[in-house]
Amino acid sequence: MIRATTEGDAEAVAALWTEAYFTEGEGGRDTPYSRSDFEQTRTAAAHLLVAERDGAVLGVVALLAPDEPSRAVALADEAELARLVVSSAARGQGIGRALANRCAELAREHGWPAVSLWSRPYQRAGHRLYESLGYKRQPERDSTDETGFGRLVFRLDLGPSRSA
């Protein structure tokens, strides 16, 4: 089941982000995630969603609105998908796909014309997922972040905005 986060999800979400971006990750994060990271993301995100099965949080994703200043790579009219993580024990079961698809549905409902995201070069499984969902690489938008590690940009075109 995919649902909006609640305060009760803070520890589970911080643990997922820590596993993916601190424990397994290469670059960027040098401290584990905490409740305050969860709260900051929850405040900034138009939608912070979790995938839950039998009471356990197995995945998480944030969708940032086009006017959210904390977006890292999205252009002015683009939403940004961020911090998509699936527990290592639950990978390969379609959870990441379901979370990313739900974000695209929500972006369409809002009338946003596109969703962008960034990924580290080593996250090849994620790249395959994004491309299978219709995201296109945007190499001209790739960058190096403040920690010296690369960001590869992907974009999903959702068609014309309803508000345009």
Q: What is the rounded average pLDDT of the residues 113-124? A: 94
| Domains recognised in the chain with CATH numbers | 2-157 (3.40.630.30)
Q: Is 163 exposed, middle or buried (0-12, 13-18, 19+ CB in 10 A)?
A: exposed
| pLDDT digits 0-9 by tens, 140-157 | 999 998 888 899 999 999
| pLDDT digits 0-9 by tens, 21-64 | 887 666 667 788 999 999 999 999 999 999 999 999 999 999 99
Which one, of 52, 104, 58, 59, lies nearest residue 81 by Cα? Answer: 104
pTM over 0.85, yes/no: yes
